[in-house]
Amino acid sequence: MRKSFKIVLISSIFVILSGCTTQATLPQKPPIEEKPIQEKTIIKIVKVPVEVPKEKDAKIIIGEAEYVYIPSSKIKLKARIDTGATTTSIHALDIKEFERDGQKWVKFKLIDKNKQEIQRALPIQRVTTIKRHAAKSLKRYVVQLRLNLGESSQLVDVTLANRSDFTYPLLIGRNFLNGIFVVDVSKKYIIKTKEI
């Protein structure tokens, strides 16, 4: 019994000692070092479409004379293009002022290419006075007419005048041309006008 006790005791001591030496001799893991987080800068090139401002539409080139259509009268007339004239002027006959509903109107006749008379009556926009050298001043009525030249259709002030002595029954002035047309004086009738 003593022998077995001794064996148990010796075994226990051996186990205890061997455990201590095992722990003492085992290689210890180095402590885990916390590595600083490295920040990465990523540069990404993105092509963004830039909206380039559009250029203004190019001006329409017209000749020194063109056909102009008057939709309200359904007539096409030869017109002299005059950048020196402030206001557009049309050949009219039998020009007479009258009153309608308390407003001043003017009645007149336009002449088409077949010499047919077209009676018109429109409200008077204003009256202008034309001063002439060594002659009596003229009073001219201004009305509004829609004129078509090329693709352009504009309601503009038009002076009524007897243009019997002129080659062209219609004179297109700057109030119609401004900002839209450029005149090439070396050409005539180069643009097609819509008849609507």
Provide the 8-state DSSP code for 64.
Answer: S
In angstroms, the CA 196 to CA 178 distance is 22
Q: What is the mean pLDDT of the chain?
A: 84
In angstroms, the CA 111 to CA 114 distance is 8
Segment 8-23 shows an average pLDDT of: 59
pLDDT tens digits, one per residue of 150-186: 999 999 999 999 999 999 999 999 999 999 999 999 9
The pair of three-digit structure tokens given for residue 129, joined into one six-digit string: 């006075």
CA 78 to chain centre: 31
CA atoms within 13 A on the CB side of 154: 18
Mean pLDDT check: name the lowest of 3-17, 92-106, 122-136.
3-17
Q: Are strands 103-111 and 126-130 parallel, antiparallel or unpaired?
A: unpaired
pLDDT tens digits, one per residue of 43-59: 767 665 555 444 456 89
